[in-house]
Amino acid sequence: MDFQLSSEQKQIKEMVTEFVDEEVVPRASDIDKTDEFPADLVDELAKLGLMGMPFPEEYGGAGLDYHAYPIALEEISRGSGGLGTIVAAHISLAGNMVYEFGTDAQKQEYLTPLAEGEEIGAFALSEAGAGSDVPAMETHAEADGDGYTINGDKVWISNGSVADTVTLFAKTDPDGGNKGISSFIVRPEEDDGFIVEGTEDKLGDKGCPTAELRFDDMWIPEERRLGEEGEGFVQALKTLNGGRITIAARSVGIAQAALDEASEYASNREQFDQRIGDFQAIQHKLADMDTKTRAARLLMHSAADKKMRGEEFIKEAAQAKLYASEASREVANEGIQIHGGYGYTKDFPAERMYRDAKLNEIYEGTSEVLRNTIGQQLLD
């Protein structure tokens, strides 16, 4: 793996860094306070071509590789964890489902507006009784004429209340286990029976609405099924595998933000007639924070490199997400410690970064599930 960024990757990083510093960082506190979807910032990201980064230009994307995409997402997440989730769920989950498993006609009709940022995407897999245990889902799709009637509920759906396209998983064969799950493209504004029950009041990740969805005799045409019946479970696993690289990117971005804030504070805060950064104890904390952030970034790019080469990357993606997510929480925690009492107040962003970091260990594969995945890969 080449550790030097290409000229294109450098340009992307510089462009996104400038946008984040000028437009996102100044808004991050307000987004956290109001928990409102930052539609104007999403529109600006779309104008910069950042809402369809890895997708081909023929479908409205920017055609970026899987190093440039996580680099950009890391920067976005450095500014706002919630905005990072909005982009990751939109691209890596909803958009990627259509790109990887849709027909050309489906890509032209549904992926293109997602990639161009004209529409927002969501990925509806989890249920109250089927989080990590996907086959336990109860949402079902029954054949009905030249389509399907869908009934059920989904929870923890990022972008769920603002999405124009939702990739939905439902059982088409209740007795089929893993092979009885299929996936569909749902259009909330077009499909009667699509109901947003509400959104969660979360610890962090503010600005990204996490919705509970209900489907009440919702009929959709057969041409909106992705792939063949029974392929949904495998599609979900493949999609989440790639998505773990981008959650690692979100984690690295938050860790970098916490490190930057702590470094600045340690350089300016004085106690006992000297900067607290002159104390060895603080220097050691900063050293560990930087080392963990750099290690997480390298694991992220290592997994991305294998994905780009077309190699198996299940273990590497799980390791990147596992390490980066736990590192982000540890780095953010030390950031609060360096700030002392001020870090526990909302006058400083350290506490927001800690709240945003915690989510990384939970969604798109908990740390416990990821350790299972890594262990199984080592033994297979």
**Dihedral sign of CA atoms 238, 244, 245, 247 in order:** positive
Active site residue 364: yes
Q: What share of the chain is helix, strand, coil (3-state, %, to 5)?
A: 60, 15, 25
Reported pTM? 0.97
Give the helix/strand (H/E) hosting 87.
helix 81-88
Q: Is the dihedral of CA 243, 244, 245, 249 positive or negative?
A: positive
Task: Supply 98's token pair.
Answer: 């259509």
What are the CA-CA distances from residue 121 to residues 56, 218, 277 (Å)?
17, 19, 44
Residue 151: the pLDDT is: 98
The sign of the torsion formed by the CA atoms of 81, 207, 91, 235 equals positive
Residue type, 10: K
- Please list, residue by residue across 357-374, b when 16 or more beta carbons sit within 10 angstroms of its beta carbon and e when fewer do: bbbbbebbbebeebeebb
The whole-number pLDDT of residue 2 equals 76
Q: What is the pLDDT of residue 300?
A: 98
3-state secondary structure of 214: strand
pLDDT of residue 131: 87
* pLDDT < 70 stretches in the chain: none
| The token pair that represents 55 in the structure block | 């997708």
pLDDT digits (tens, 9 = 90+) for 301-322: 999 999 999 999 999 999 999 9
Question: 250 near 358, Cβ under 8 Å?
Answer: no
| Residue 188 DSSP SS3 | coil
Each residue of 201-232: b (16+ CB within 10 Å) or e? ebebbbbbbbbbbbbeebbbeeebbbbebbbb
Q: Please name each of the domains of the chain with its CATH number.
A: 7-120 (1.10.540.10), 122-230 (2.40.110.10), 233-379 (1.20.140.10)
Q: What is the pLDDT of residue 132?
A: 87
DSSP 309-349: TT---HHHHHHHHHHHHHHHHHHHHHHHHHHGGGGGSTTST
For 149-201, the pLDDT digits (tens) are 999 999 999 999 999 999 999 999 999 999 999 999 999 999 999 999 999 99
Catalytic-labelled residue, pool 119, 197, 364, 368 = 364
